[in-house]
Amino acid sequence: MHAHLGDRLVVESPTTGVVRRDGEIVGLHHEDGTPPYDVRWSDTDDVTLVFPGPDAHIQHLETEGDETASGTDAAEQNAAAPGTPNPGDIGRRVAGERRRRGLSREETARRARISPQYLAYIEEQPAEPTTATLLALAGALGTTAAALRGGGVDRPPGQGHALLHPRLDDLDDDECRRLLSTHGVGRVAVTAPDGHPAVVPVNYEVVDGAIVFRTRPGSLPAAAAGNEVAFQVDHVDEAMSRGWSVLAVGPATTVSDPDAVRNLARRAHTEPWAGGTRDEWVSVRPTRLTGKRITPAGGPVHR
């Protein structure tokens, strides 16, 4: 029998197949995944040291199947995968909250009654801990399971905790261009036909150094053409309380050359989220780029 952190230990009757008890493996005592295991039982939330008997088997986190020869092989392959950090959203929130409170992994794991190795796995891999473990982690960190799951994702960004020691850095021109080059959603500031200022979100691309987006003729974004406009892109990492913002200022023009329009349509990564026919392309060529980044003081500037 071989298990990995986060796998499920199932104890059932060998004759009827009725599950008598199951729990999440939250601690290993041998590197090869052989018993015994620390198991958080789903019926009591107790964590006990378990030496599985013949009526127990493992359901692996990835395969969600009983342990078989092929299942064991798959599990052994999965054991090597966590070497490269690739945290999921829950892990990023757990790590961020832990660091904000100045807690070590060892202390947090002790409070949550899981092994430090399993906490490292949760923080570094796209893990899906059970509700019981998530509640235990929330209690250890003085927060809620809903917050660790990202229950506030529908709220406006920036309502999370600020860093204890934030660092605000100016971004140079090259870094601004690099961040802009990631296509997505940005905001263009224009003057509406009634003379009032407006800020409109648009799907955009960066092509040959120009910011381009498509819209409908006569629409509010189309009013950017023929004027100097501001275009802003940002990213807020709520889980880690950090982020960046880039502001581009420059003249906007309508792309009228048929070959250029076809080229833009061919290179577009996504259709406009607003839907409908949007075949007028507007190009903003930045003449001034500025940006800011918030990171923890003493941490790396670029991530």
- CATH code of the domain covering residue 60: 2.30.30
173 and 291 within one domain? yes
Question: Looking at the chain, how many residues does it have?
Answer: 303
Q: Confirm whether 161 is domain-assigned.
A: no
Name the residue among 120, 121, 144 with its Cα closest to residue 131: 144
pLDDT at residue 154, as a whole number: 57
pLDDT at residue 73, as a whole number: 38
26 and 107 within one domain? no
Q: Confirm whether 154 is domain-assigned.
A: no
Give CA separation, 139 vs 23, 183, 275, in Å: 19, 39, 44
Domain span holding position 128:
89-149
Give CA separation, 110 vs 3, 26, 122, in Å: 21, 11, 15
Domain count, the chain: 3
Q: Confirm whether 21 is domain-assigned.
A: yes
131 and 191 within one domain? no
SS3 state at 66 = strand
Q: Confirm whether 275 is domain-assigned.
A: yes
99 and 79 within one domain? no
CATH number where 215 lies: 2.30.110.10
pLDDT at residue 102, as a whole number: 87
105 and 128 within one domain? yes
144 and 41 within one domain? no
21 and 64 within one domain? yes
Q: Confirm whether 73 is domain-assigned.
A: yes
Show which of 45, 67, 83 is a domain's final residue: 83
In tens digits, the chain (303 residues) has pLDDT values of 888 888 889 998 776 667 788 899 999 999 889 999 999 888 887 889 999 988 899 988 654 334 333 333 333 334 334 456 777 888 988 998 888 888 999 999 999 999 998 999 899 988 888 888 999 999 999 888 888 887 655 556 666 666 677 888 999 999 999 998 876 889 999 988 888 899 999 989 888 888 999 888 888 899 899 899 999 999 887 666 778 999 999 999 998 888 888 888 777 767 777 777 778 889 999 999 999 998 877 655 544
Show which of 101, 118, 149 is a domain's final residue: 149
Show which of 60, 83, 106 is a domain's final residue: 83
Q: Confirm whether 159 is domain-assigned.
A: no
Percentages helix, strand, coil for the chain, rounded to the nearest 5? 25, 30, 40
Q: Confirm whether 3 is domain-assigned.
A: no
pLDDT at residue 233, as a whole number: 94
192 and 282 within one domain? yes
Q: Confirm whether 155 is domain-assigned.
A: no
SS3 state at 101 = coil
74 and 107 within one domain? no
109 and 52 within one domain? no
Cβ atoms within 10 A of the Cβ of 91, count? 24
76 and 95 within one domain? no
CATH number where 110 lies: 1.10.260.40
pTM of this structure: 0.53
pLDDT at residue 74, as a whole number: 37
135 and 95 within one domain? yes
Residue 9 and residue 23 in contact, taking contact as beta carbons nearer than 8 Å: yes
Task: Supply the angle between the helices 131-141 and 105-112 in degrees, to the nearest 10.
Answer: 120
